Amino acid sequence: MKAPFYRTGSSTEKMMFYVLMAISIQATIYSIYYHDMPYLLTYFLYIAFAFILQTVYSFLSDGKVKIPTLSAGITTGLLVLSIPSKMPPVAVLTALTLALLFCKFMIDKQALRLNPMLVARLFLMFAFPDAIQNWTKPGVVMDSITTATPLTVFKYEEITFPLLEIIKGTIASSADSMYTYIHGSPADALPLISILIGLFLWKSGVLDWRCPLVFVGTFFITSFLLGNPPLYSTITGSIIFSAVYIATDLRTTPKSKIGRIIAGVIAGVINAFIRKYTWWPEGIVFAFLAVNILTPTIDRITFYCQAKRLQHYKAP
Amino acid sequence: MHRFIKSKTGDVGQPQQLSKQPNTLKYRLYKDLQPCVKEGETVAKGVPVAKGKWQMLHAGRGGIVSSVTDDVIVIDCRNITDNASLVDNAKLLKSNPCDFAIQNGFIGMGGAGFPSAIKWNISEGLDTLVINAVECEPYASVDQSLLLNCTQTVFDGAKALQEALNIKKVILAVKKSFFKQIRPLWDGDIITMSDRYPGGAERLIVGKLTKKPLPAGEFPSTRGFLVHNTTTIYSIGKCLKEGTPITDRPISVIDTEKKTSKEWFVPIGTVLRDFLDIISVTIDLDKQRIIAGGVMMGKEISLDSTIDKNTTAITIVSTTKRILRDEKPCTGCGSCNDVCPIGLHPIELANRIRTGKMQSKAFHTQLNECFFCGACSAVCPSDIPLADIIREERQS
């Protein structure tokens, strides 16, 4: 045995378990709050599919049946929370399979990693552009009621809703009683719950506060400078949700403290610019994919800069 | 997971004398120490048994030297009452501090074992004496116990050393949480260090005092600092009071399972088996291990080892649970960078060592700065032995 003979904090499995539980709690709260029980069922079925996929993959590649790690479940949970609940299952399963295979299982030891959840969502955005915009009112069995999200309404008509209604998750129609506006994804609804869960995860040491806080802060400031209503932009369009779950992804964000702050700044600025100047109402996927691509570079630069800083104090 | 190591302390008790003295004393000869007694010789208490260029070892009790080898001297203790002739230590310290350190066998008693004479030999430019009582190792409490219970001896020692070396200022370095307890006892300057491990590293204290990190390979003396552990300062005070060289030291016995620690004055050279017998601690070697030093930087030792001059603590750890777990792939959580006191990137270093990408200058700078506190290994959720990997590369 070698020093240190002391361990503190939890293990990798425990951290992943906490995050998966947090996502599942969020899905459960959503489906109870909006009386959408079928959604919860599909959520767990998709997660089961991810575990089966991982087991099959490890059997095919190593010839052994291993107990799957929880990270595939986390990816699936995040994806299912960020898409409309009436998304066709074939599309979701295809996206999941492709993302998990090519962005998770097959490139286990690469330095450059893309968050598989973002890749799956990007795939859905391009392959099924209609279905992913098809935000339906939760709990309604009919297929016909398709509604707009507050962010889309703001994007094209510059109408904002009262903040309190957005936080409470009960947006009433403002223009016509025929249409009811709802939040976009399940992740988008109830931002307060996301904040509470994020605080809990931070308190129990699973998350690092730097990247999410800097991301939200930078986004807020940049939105303000670009002329978007900052608070309204921040609590709509999954900003809080992605700050808690995507900005804190371990593999795809930089490893160092300063690196995480840089990543938060980059993501916040890119996201605000995408919202203001492009066709896309939200821009989480692009902002964080950019961070993912830059991560190995940021890691290398911070490593080099720290060495430079230490060298600086050396007596000549 | 918490991305820091809290250096918590249990109840700080009073250091106690052993109820029974051990019958054999075994002196381990390290560095350049050469035995200066022969087999069968009768020695009195306080007589040097081994000499080196910068330090000495003294017999803790009178007795007969039963065996002398290149690395071990064993003394069979008898009731020999005559002591070695007493030297006027106070006078010696004033006239020749270096000689005083060598004659009385002073080495860094906070764990490093660096001969004090070498530190004191730099006569010019020393202007601040720092008493290091931070003790960042979790559960360790011997320095704090000395400061609370033997306050006068510690401060006498510091004062004498200050006068002898013409030092202008004495600063006491303590943990933040200990500040309230020590403030009424000490009227000089106090610097508080973080409650997180490793707050008590010499380099970090000097770096905080001069507001500029101390780089690797540079000694505190280049900035005019003399840093000594509380136990060393206490020993100087005791040496001046009683006129005898260092023959015993306070150590704490830490039980990590019960999270308690107890302080004892133990003769140097006591065999661990005897010591644990005397203080009636039983050890189940299947489930528990003995560590010399604290949990973070200690070394595993056997029951036949001895208590050396630089053994600060005996720690009993149980081998169940996480300590024995195997390494898992890195998840990139960055805890190791969070916890590193000088902001290194341990996992990046380990990855580069394992893949052989070791040409860059930045890599070598970071590698040389590491002082092996082991904090990164302790917080790693995947149990990667980062400190070991870096240490192996440095030594090769």
Longest dimension (CA), chain B: 65
pLDDT of residue A140: 55
**B residues 363-382 near A, CB within 8 Å?**
363, 365-366, 369, 374-375, 377-379, 381-382
**B residues 293-322 near A, CB within 8 Å?**
293, 295-300, 315, 317, 319, 321-322
Q: Using an 8 Å CB-CB cutoff, list chain A residues near B358.
A: none
pLDDT of residue A315: 60
User: How far apart, in Å, are the Cα atoms of B253 and each of A195, A247, B279, B311?
Assistant: 45, 45, 10, 11
pLDDT, tens digit, for every residue of A165-184?
A: 666 666 655 444 445 556 66
Helix (H) or strand (E) holding B132: strand B128-132
Write the ipTM. 0.82
The answer to whether the Cα torsion of B370, B371, B374, B376 is positive or negative is negative
DSSP chain A: --S-----S--HHHHHHHHHHHHHHHHHHHHHHTT-HHHHHHHHHHHHHHHHHHHHHHHHHHSS--PPPTHHHHHHHHHHHTS-TT--HHHHHHHHHHHHIIIIITTTT-S----HHHHHHHHHHHH-HHHHT--B-TT---S--B---HHHHHHHH-----HHHHHHT-PPPSS-TT-----SSTTTS-HHHHHHHHHHHHHTTSS-SHHHHHHHHHHHHHHHHHTS-HHHHHHSTTHHHHHHHTTT-TTTS-SSHHHHHHHHHHHHHHHHHHHHHSS-S--HHHHHHHHHHHHHHHHHHHHHHHHHHHHHTS--
pLDDT of residue B5: 81
pLDDT of residue A286: 92
The answer to whether the Cα torsion of B206, B210, B211, B215 is positive or negative is negative
Q: Looking at the complex, does the CB of residue B361 fall below 8 Å from at least one CB of chain A? A: yes
The two structure tokens encoding residue A267: 């993501």
pLDDT winner (highest mean) among A174-178, A197-201, A280-284, B202-206: A197-201
Spans in chain B with pLDDT lower than 70: 1-2, 10, 80-86, 123, 320-321
pLDDT of residue A136: 66
Residues 6+ apart with CB under 8 A from B67: B39, B73, B74
When scoring A1, A2, A6 by the number of chain B Cβ atoms within 10 A, the one with the most, hence best to mutate, is A6
Distance CA B127, CA B147 (A): 23
pLDDT, tens digit, for every residue of B191-215?
A: 888 888 888 788 888 888 888 888 8
pLDDT(A310) > 80: yes
pLDDT of residue A168: 67
**B residues 211-240 near A, CB within 8 Å?**
212-215, 218, 222
By three-state DSSP, how is residue B266 classified? strand
Q: Looking at the complex, report in whole angstroms how far the Cα of residue B338 sits from the nearest Cα belonging to chain A.
A: 6
Q: Looking at the complex, report in whole angstroms how far the Cα of residue A193 sits from the nearest Cα belonging to chain B.
A: 22
More confident position, A46 or A11 = A46
What is the CA A146 to chain-centroid distance, rounded?
Answer: 24
Among chain B residues, CA nearest to A201 = B1
More confident position, B319 or A20 = A20
Among chain A residues, CA nearest to B320 = A5
Helix (H) or strand (E) holding B255: strand B248-255
The minimal CB distance from A206 to the residues B1, B324, B383 is found for B1
pLDDT of residue A51: 93
pLDDT(A309) > 80: yes
Contact A7 B1 (CB under 8 A): no
pLDDT, tens digit, for every residue of A120-160?
A: 999 998 998 887 777 766 655 555 455 667 777 777 767 67
pLDDT of residue B78: 75
Phi, psi of B61 (to 5 degrees): -140, 160
Which of B134, B109, B146, B136 has its CA nearest to residue B263? B146
Contact A5 B317 (CB under 8 A): yes
Question: How many Cα atoms are found within 13 Å in the side-chain-facing hemisphere of B97?
Answer: 20
When scoring A1, A255, A260 by the number of chain B Cβ atoms within 10 A, the one with the most, hence best to mutate, is A255
pLDDT of residue A178: 47
Instruction: Compute the radius of gyration of chain B from its Cα atoms.
Output: 21
- Average pLDDT (A199-210) is 88
